[in-house]
Structure 1
Amino acid sequence: MFKYNYNAIKVKEVEGRYVTNKEIERFLKSLTPVFQVSTIGESVQGRSIKAITLGSGETRILLWSQMHGNESTTTKAVLDLVNLLKGDSELASVILENCTLKIIPILNPDGAMAYTRVNANSIDLNRDAQERTQPESVVLREVFNEFKPDFCFNLHDQRTIFNVGNTSKLATVSFLAPANDPARSISSNREVAMRLIVAMNKALQRLIPGQVGRYDDSFNSNCVGDAFQMQGVPTILFESGHFPEDYQREQTRYYIFISLIEAIEVISNKKIEHFEMDSYFEIPENNKLFLDIIIDNIDQLNSKFSKGDSAGILYVETLVGGKIEFRPKLEKVGDLSELYGHKMYNCLDINDLEEIQKSPSLLNVLK
């Protein structure tokens, strides 16, 4: 397991959910010329798209984050990765000698600023891999063509609704080796991606047992991961999910950091063949069985609801004054016994009822 002091490695000036070019600028400026920071293009609104290139090895790894502007956990994790590689550890030396990394911390800086999934033209960049109608999509494909990566890491966040299989375990981290054809056949490059995911899963099971999921592998050539897999490059989708009480995704950030280190170390040391592809299919698929809050017997709170009804609430992440607020929204009402809540209340319990009554936002949702 990771033997370094993460608290000393973590880039503490970049925390929380709202991460833009401004938030990462100070860190990028702190990098020495050995870690080349370059502007590789501009967004729709003219914001710079930056890349960090480091290492001198023959194996080339391309990583990009915040393709969806409101998915910032992996951006924080890649900054931590770079911070580790700035040090003089044996691990850093091995990686930088054997690999060359090109990291795009924020591919969609307009979406990051507005805290939206889409870019400034309301286009989902992860559905623009073929037509490449957007400048950000063009930038990523140009980097792919020029850098000629041996591996691609496609870094994302997923919502709090995901669990592992049919269990009550949170999908704190999920992976996918994207399909490269409609039949979802296993090409040699997809097999390599599967083996790397097995390596990462093995490391994570020691830290968050049962909390690693496998993302749906439906084929869509317009998705970037599928498109790059079609080009014969082993590509991995990383999805940062929820950890109990971790709505700022600082704990999940750590698990993504561990995943990145594990994968890159395995690549550096040429140990991919040590991991069995078949174990990839033993990772349970994601399911969507979680709500942020479930309140049972809400008829005790408001008589407009039927006897025994439960209320299921999801938070809406809302940008307010440069910070993200989590505003409750009523999602489901009825029998929710097959679902799980990150927070559970029962209005038959006087303590729970009193706690709900002290929350104006919850009371407003349940009017």
Structure 2
Amino acid sequence: MKKNRFQDLLKDEWYEAIKLAEISGRYINNDNLKKHLDHFSSEIDIKVIGNSVAGEPIRLFKIGSGKKKILMWSQMHGNESTTTKAVLDLCNAFIKEIDHEIFQEILSKCSLFIIPILNPDGARAYTRVNANQVDLNRDMQKLSQPESSILKDTYNEILPDFCLNLHDQRTIFSAGARRNPATLSFLTPSKDPKRSIDESRKISMGLIAGIATDLREDLPGMIGRYDDAFNINCAGDTFQSLSTPTLLFEAGHFPGDYQREKTRKYVFKALISALYRISSFTEKDISDDFEDYFSIPENKKLFKDIIIREAQVEGEIVDVAIHYSEKLVKGKIEFEPILEKKASFISGFGHREIMANKEELKIPGLSAPLENVVVNKIILKNEELVFKEG
């Protein structure tokens, strides 16, 4: 196989120099995008391809002039913004490093079509669904929503050779049955209920296997794979069923990184890895690696945000699990800690684990810890613990 220069290109210091630092955090919408349109338009063709339910513009970025056409879209779910940050970093990298040999190779052999925010109404409200409360990723057959139709129409107009479907996943996922968060997860969707593996799926499997290889040192044991149960209503399954190699990206949790700024970097690297392989390797070279895809551990739901072990509650020794609920408050996302469960033992892992050593646990204002209540702070061992994330 052709020598892969990917690791020589992407050093952390280089990424920090091209990162679009003005865009950060979890709340990303069209306002963030609009501020940078003039900057992007110097090298990128930008056009409005339609409007959302509430009338917000949906934009398509085009960069490159090559024969291989790649369609990618982000924020199909409005509260999944990490990949949007990463594709904007990608655009900035192509502008700032336009003369780099690898970027020149990508842009001479590929044409990139990027929808940075497919669901601008959901992005503004920070919801998974659009303004009509419809999950766009379950609407690709009915096409009942303008945003779904825009994506399908764009696909039909471009007839891409590859699709990159970009999402975020919850903090609950582990990469396999280990104490490793799934910081990145991938899936090559099925094309039919039998989950047939034809040449187009082999290509997308090989691309994902290559990404996992390229990021192995950055994320040891922290890359997962989703189950490929078929659902024709989903975008990835729809396009895979049309024999277009399709990759689902899922940005997940990196320890301590609730704003997903570190995860953003790894999504960026994964995008560069995929684009470099598409532009530089033959389809046979890529598909030859397809079996390595199955060595990526399948995601498990093994994580809680916080677990307090062996706490005394009303005379019982129990474990207490807390998860963060994301809320939009005055233009920022706040992480509200919710007491999700208490039980004699809670299996799995906590991103943060606290050993109570059978000391009494109290929540100020409550006589006893109840489930599904907000717990901004607790008293344990006569010390106040604050759980709110900024």
Shorter-normalised TM range:
over 0.9
Question: Please, which moves more after superposition, 228-237 or 341-350?
Answer: 341-350
> Is 1:15 paired with 2:28?
no
> Could you say which residue in structure 2 is the equivalent of 1:298?
311
Please state which structure has a larger fraction of its residues in helix: 1
Q: What amino acid is the match of 1:123? A: V
Contact 2:320–2:346, Cα closer than 8 Å, also in 1:
no
Structure 2 CA distance for partners of 1:172 and 1:358, relative to 1, 3 Å:
closer
Match for 1:281 among 294, 314, 317? 294
Q: How does 1:175-324 map to 2 (within 5 A)?
A: 175-275=186-286, 276-299=289-312, 302-303=313-314, 307-324=316-333
Relative distance call for 1:336 and 1:149 in structure 2 (3 A) is: farther
DSSP 3-state at the match of 2:171: coil
State the shift of 1:92 in Å.
1.3
CA contact (8 A) 1:40 1:51 kept: yes
Quote how far apart the aligned CAs of 1:357 are. 2.2
Query: How high is the TM-score relative to the length of structure 1?
Result: 0.94
Alignment of 1:147-166 (within 5 A): 147-166=158-177
**Alpha-carbon contact 1:180-1:230 (below 8 Å) kept:** yes
In structure 1, the partner of 2:380 is 353
Please point out which of 70, 78, 90 is paired with 1:69: 78
Q: CA deviation at 1:339?
A: 1.1
One-letter identity of the residue aligned with 2:133: S
Q: For residue 81 of structure 1, what is the aligned residue in structure 2?
A: 90
| Cα separation, 2, equivalents of 1:356 and 1:129 | 52
Deviation at 1:90, TM superposition (A): 1.2
**In 1, Cα distance between equivalents of 2:189 and 2:318:** 40
Matched-pair contact (CA < 8 Å) for 1:297–1:307: no
TM-score normalized by the length of structure 2: 0.88
Tell me the amino acid that sits aligned with residue 14 of structure 1: I
SS in 1 for 2:380: helix
| Number of aligned positions between the proteins | 358
Contact 2:321 2:346 in 1 (8 A): no
Q: Does the aligned pair in 2 maintain the 1:292–1:313 contact within 8 Å?
A: yes
The whole-number CA distance in structure 2 between the counterparts of 1:233 and 1:156 is: 19
* 1:266–1:272 CA contact under 8 A, matched in 2: no
2:122 pairs with 1:111: yes
**Greater shift after overlay, 263-272 or 108-117?**
263-272
Q: 1:24 and 2:37 equivalent?
A: no
Distance 1:255 1:3, change over 3 A: closer
Superposed, 1:92-107 pairs within 5 Å as 92-107=103-118
Structure 2: 5+ residue stretches without partners = 1-6, 360-378
Distance 1:355 1:50 in 2: 54
Could you say if the C-alpha distance between residues 43 and 287 of structure 1 is closer, same or farther in structure 2, counting changes exceeding 3 Å?
Answer: same
The match for 2:338 is 329
**Matched letter for residue 270 of structure 1:** F
Cα distance, 1:337 vs structure 2: 4.6
Change in CA separation of 1:360 and 1:214 when aligned onto 2, cut-off 3 Å: closer
Query: CA shift at 1:139, angstroms?
Result: 0.4
The aligned amino acid for 2:357 is L
Shift of 1:83: 1.1
Q: CA contact under 8 A between 2:73 and 2:164: conserved in structure 1?
A: yes
- Over residues 16-41 of structure 1, what are the superposed CA-to-partner deviations in whole Å (9 max), with x where a residue is unaligned? 00000001212222123541011010
What is the 5 A alignment of 1:126-165?
A: 126-165=137-176
